[in-house]
Amino acid sequence: MKINLKIWRQKNKDTKGSFKSYALDNVSTDMSFLEMLDVLNHDLIHKGEESVAFDHDCREGICGMCSLYINGRPHGPQQTTTCQLHMRSFKDGETIVIEPWRAKAFPVIRDLVVDRTAFDRIQQAGGYVSVNTGGVPDANEIAISKKIADEAFDSAACIGCGACVAACKNASAMLFVSAKVSQLALLPQGKPERKERVEKMVAQMDAEDFGACTNTGACEAECPKGISLTNIARMNREYFSAITTSYEIELKGGD
């Protein structure tokens, strides 16, 4: 099949970018989307042009590194990661527009590569249980109902790709942050720190210039791992409960 590509090219974070058009006429429907870009880059190098930079690693839909905004949707027309998208999802002769994630908190590094370290900093603010290696109880001393464990797993399945932010008109990171908050709020291991955790993670999220959540639900609709909007509701509850019943109030017996 033949396809036309309009791809965002940008030398680095300090220069202005623009769309460039390319045509590919030997695309197999069995190719993955990223393999199609490999072919484009191969052709570009042979023409003496610099290849298009894009992030990718496992190409199995689990590492969360690939991050392309394709025809106006994060990861393209299917609810999957870009690396799992195949060219049979497109029509012969179609023009495909490829952009990087667009969000103030994800500055462009080059072409289609963006800086997502804001996500790591949010996790560093409290996305953990404070246990050191060793000195922990036997694994089966903590019984957890299967229902709760399954629910926690659903939240923990987030791959941190940032599609939720890219899909959101406000570039909000609520789905990402709430997935971790939910996982640890559901499990008994996460309970002792649940109040500080949600407060700190939300504070960091705000400091990173992510937008506010207006419950539009685009994040859930585009999430390649089907992370549910319920997580956002749970995080809001956790947050309000934390700020209204802080430990100080609890210890002093209330105002």
Partner 1 sequence: MDTARVPIKKINRQMKLDSKIPEGPLAEKWTKHKFNLKLVNPANKRKFDVIVVGTGLAGASAAASLGELGYNVKAFCFQDSPRRAHSIAAQGGINAAKNYQNDGDSVYRLFYDTIKGGDYRAREGNVYRLAEVSVNIIDQCVAQGVPFAREYGGLLANRSFGGAQVSRTFYARGQTGQQLLLGAYSALNRQIANGKVTMYTRSEMLDVVLVDGKARGIVTRDLVTGKIESHAAHAVLICTGGYGNVFFLSTNAKGSNVTAAWRAHKKGALFGNPCYTQIHPTCIPVSGDHQSKLTLMSESLRNDGRVWVPKTARPGLKAKDAANIPEADRDYFLERKYPSFGNLVPRDVASRNAKQMCDEGRGVGSGLAVFLDFSDAIKRDGKKTIEAKYGNLFDMYQQITGDNPYEMPMMIYPAVHYTMGGLWVDYNLMTTVPGLYALGEANFSDHGANRLGASALMQGLADGYFVIPYTLGDYLAGLSPEKVTTDRPEFKEAIDKVNGTINKFLSIKGKRTVDEFHRELGLTMWEFCGMARNEEGLKGAKKKIQALKEAFWKDVNVLGGSQELNQELEKAMRVADFMELGELMVDDALNRSESCGGHFREESQTPDGEALRKDDEFAYVAAWEYKGENQQEVLHKETLVFENVKLTQRSYK
Spell out the residues 6+ positions from residue 173 whose beta carbon is closer than 8 angstroms to its own: 105, 118, 119, 122, 164, 165, 205, 208, 210
* Under rule CB under 8 A, residue 15 binds partner 1: no
Using the rule CB under 8 A, is 18 a contact of partner 1? no
User: What are the tokens at 243?
Assistant: 């700020």
Binding mask 94-123 for partner 1 (x = CB under 8 A): ---------------xx--x-xxx-xx--x
The minimum distance between CB 254 and partner 1, in angstroms, equals 30
Q: Is 196 in the site for partner 1 (CB under 8 A)?
A: no
Q: Shortest approach of partner 1 to residue 201 CB, angstroms? A: 11
Scanning 1-9, 17-25, 133-141, 229-237 for contacts with partner 1 by CB under 8 A, the matching segment is 133-141
Task: Look at residues 48, 44, 72 and name the one whose alpha carbon lies nearest to residue 166.
Answer: 72
User: Which is nearer to partner 1, 200 or 217 (by Cβ)?
Assistant: 200
Strand 18-24 vs strand 113-114: parallel, antiparallel, or unpaired?
A: unpaired
* 25 lines the binding site for partner 1 (CB under 8 A): no
Which one of residues 16, 18, 133, 244 is an interface residue with partner 1 (CB under 8 A)? Answer: 133
CA 128 – CA 250 distance, rounded (Å): 23
Asked if 59 touches partner 1 (CB under 8 A), the answer is yes
Q: Which is nearer to partner 1, 124 or 215 (CB)?
A: 124
* Site membership for partner 1, residue 136 (CB under 8 A): yes
Q: What angle do CA 184, 150, 204 make, to 5 degrees?
A: 25
DSSP letter (8 states) at residue 51: P
- Rounded CA separation 216/233 (Å): 13
